[in-house]
Each structure stands twice: as structure tokens, then as C-alpha cells.
Chain A
Amino acid sequence: MLLNSALIVLQETLEVALLASILAALSNRLEYRMTWMLFGLSGGLVPALLYAMNLELISGWFDYTGQEVVNASLQSSIAVILFLLPWTFFRQHHVHSDQGSNEIRRNRLFGIFAAMSLILAIGREGSEVFVYLDGFLQQGDKIKTVLVGGGIGFSIGISVGFLLYYSLVGLSRKWGIAAAVLLLALFAGNMLSQSSVQLIQADWLPSTAPLWDTSGVVSENSVSGQLLYALIGYEANPSLIQMIAYLAGVILVLLAAVFAKFRSTRSSLRK
């Protein structure tokens, strides 16, 4: 019971912790203020609670596939936001004194996107934790064990987030930003891949045979499998649609970053 609750809460915390730490490292390297983090983390609790409280109603939508549709929408929205994010910061390298107001605007836009992605991620993951805890609140005696386990899982998730944050911030500015953008691209791929799985589960997308099966090498059930799942969307037996969705997410965010960087370099050369 203790171990299981730790694992469940860890699973849900990990994804949000990784997203938050990558965004925080990026924000740090770009020398932006971190106020968005406060809005993102606290703001996410609202949709998480609303989703958890109305889960039964939402599940009933679309002939009992409402949950999948809502999850897929949340995840796809995160991917879209991550695609838009590079456009907000890649001109930052060439700031001149007369661009001060422009800089503040970009800073604010980055913050809005970062906070929004966190709010959506917490909305989905947090709701599952709330539903899980609520189930044990009704069972009286077990809730203490579950809360302790959940606390352990939560702490491990947060620690992994800090570890990633300090690893990224420890890199040189250039490499730190590059690594963070790459991780965001992988995260976007993960979101689109998960979103396609939800739509397959709801029968909105056709189900196809798995492309391969690596569960013998890294099981999704294992700790490394869970970590890889949260970080790069590891799946032991992905289907073709899932793979296409994953690659589309990764490539689109990377292209957005390269293109935004290219444009910023060109516009600064023209000046």
C-alpha cells in the first residue's frame, strides 16, 4: 500500500516536475523572472480539482470516452504551447538598449506560455492524484499510509525535477538553452504520442499493431521505464500512429526553435 501509493503519486508528479524544471532552467538561462512558476503551479490546482470533482460527468461525455477526449485535448494543447515557446525568446540574444520594452514583452509572453503549459499538465496529472486520494479518504484507516506513501512519491518527483534543473543550469548558457529546447521538443513529442493513445483508446483513431516490443529490455513497469516515460515518452510497444505523433511533436518544436533562432540572427545582422 505504501509503495504503491508512492509509485502512483511519483508517476503523476514526475511529468510535471520535469516540465517545470526544464522551463525553469530555460527561464534562468534567459535571465527572465520566475514569477510565472508561481502562477503555473498554483493555477494548475484549479483545473485539477475541477477535473477530479467532475470526473464522473466528464467520463460520460462522447459515449463514455469523455476522459480520453479531455486528456488528449490537454496534452495536445501543451504540445502547441511548447511549439510556440521558442518564438518568444530567440531574439533575446541581441538586445540593444532601445529594445527594452520589446524585451519585457517577450519576457511576459514566455511567462504566460510557461505558466499555461504547467497549468494544463497539473490539471491532468493532479486530478488523478486527487481522485486516488479521495478514494482512500472513504476507506478511513488506509488514508494515513496512502498520504505518507504519496508524500514520499511526491518528494522523489520534486527531487528529480531539482536534479534536472541544476544539471541544465550547470551547463554553459548556450548548451543549457540547447539542451532545454531539445528536452522540451521530446516532451512535446511525448504529449502528442500520449494524446494519440488516448484517441485510439476512445476509438477516434484506428488501432494498429505495435511496431516493436522492447518490454524485455526496459519494462514500462520498472523505475527506469517510468522515468523514461515521463522524460522522453518511452513506450515499450508503440503503434505507428503513436510514433508519427511523437516524431511530429519533436520535429515541429525543433524546427520552430531553429527557425526562430535563424530569424533572430538575420534580423540582428540587418541592424
Chain B
Amino acid sequence: MRPCIRLIPGVLALLLPFSLLSATPVVEIEIRDHLFLPSEIVIPADTKIKLLIKNLDPTPEEFESYELNREKVISGKSNAVIFIGPLPPGEYPFFGEFHPKTAQGRILVQ
């Protein structure tokens, strides 16, 4: 058991860079009237991005993207953070699963 316990600080130290090095660029998207605003965002290739999604509607929405492998429920009148990338150049569509007819958007990676 002892060696295991001794390993814990080491493992934590290894994990630290992932959580603390948060010089990650932030990109904001708003949800208003079941629409993503802006519905198209451009981000640089091979860069990790922190998406800050502000749901201004009173109703919940689910951000979903098969291409990005991302999925997250966002309560009404609240914020959510989703990390994406680093990604190769291309087009990555996303949508609001609760209102897919209107809530559509895409991320252009250049």
C-alpha cells in the first residue's frame, strides 16, 4: 500500500499542467431565442480553445457536435464551458439538440 500512497503526489503533479496552464483562448457564444450567436466562429488550427457558452434563454439547451465529440446540457439562464481542440483545419458543425431546427452553428478551423 505504501508505495501507492507515495505515488499520489507524483500523479497529481503530472495532472497539474492540464488544469493550471489555463492560458487557453476563450471564445464566447450566446444562445438567444434558440439560436447560436454568432452561429459561425473561426478558430486557429492546432490550438486548444475554451468555449464559453452563455444561455440567455430561460429554457435549457444541449450543445452537441458529433464531429467534435462534444455534448453538454446547459440550463436556462446559465453559462457553460466546453474545451475543444487542438483540431486540424476543417469545418465542424454543432447544434442545439433540444431545438435543432433553429439552433445550428459551425466552427471553422483555419
Contact for A59 among B15, B50, B78, CB less than 8 A: B78
A128 within 8 A of B: yes
Instruction: Assess A138 versus B59: contact at CB under 8 Å? Given A64-B81, A205-B18, A207-B83.
Output: yes
B35 within 8 A of A: no
**Inter-chain contact total with CB atoms closer than 8 Å:** 84
- CB of A203 within 8 A of CB of B19, answer yes
Contact for A200 among B15, B24, B78, B83, CB less than 8 A: B83
CB distance from A162 to the nearest CB of B (A): 26
Question: In the complex, which residues of chain B have a beta carbon less than 8 angstroms from the beta carbon of A16?
Answer: none
Question: Measured between alpha carbons, how far is A65 from B85 in the docked complex, in Å?
Answer: 16
- CB of B80 within 8 A of CB of A207, answer no
CB distance from B106 to the nearest CB of A (A): 15
Within 8 A of A (CB), among B1-37: 15, 18-19, 24
Question: Measured between alpha carbons, how far is A132 from B97 in the docked complex, in Å?
Answer: 10
Which size class do A's interface residues fall under?
35 or more
Question: In the complex, which residues of chain B have a beta carbon less than 8 angstroms from the beta carbon of A202?
Answer: 83
Contact for B59 among A56, A135, A197, CB less than 8 A: A135
- CB of B66 within 8 A of CB of A203, answer no
Contact for B19 among A131, A139, A204, A235, CB less than 8 A: A204
Which size class do B's interface residues fall under?
35 or more
Contact for B18 among A67, A204, A238, CB less than 8 A: A204
Question: Measured between alpha carbons, how far is A151 from B78 in the docked complex, in Å?
Answer: 28
- CB of B59 within 8 A of CB of A203, answer no
B89 within 8 A of A: no
- CB of A56 within 8 A of CB of B75, answer yes
Question: In the complex, which residues of chain B have a beta carbon less than 8 angstroms from the beta carbon of A239?
Answer: 69
A8 within 8 A of B: yes
Q: List 6 A-B contacts (CB under 8 A).
A: A64-B80, A132-B62, A210-B69, A220-B66, A237-B67, A239-B69
Interface residues, chain B, with chain A CB atoms under 8 Å away:
15, 18-19, 24, 48, 50, 52, 58-62, 66-67, 69-76, 78-86, 88, 97-98, 100-101
Interface residues, chain A, with chain B CB atoms under 8 Å away:
4, 8, 55-56, 59-60, 63-65, 67-68, 128, 131-132, 134-136, 138-139, 197, 200-207, 209-210, 215, 219-221, 235-239
Known: A64-B79, A238-B69. 14 other contacts (CB 8 A): A4-B97, A4-B101, A65-B81, A131-B73, A131-B75, A136-B59, A201-B82, A203-B18, A203-B48, A204-B19, A207-B83, A207-B84, A221-B66, A237-B67
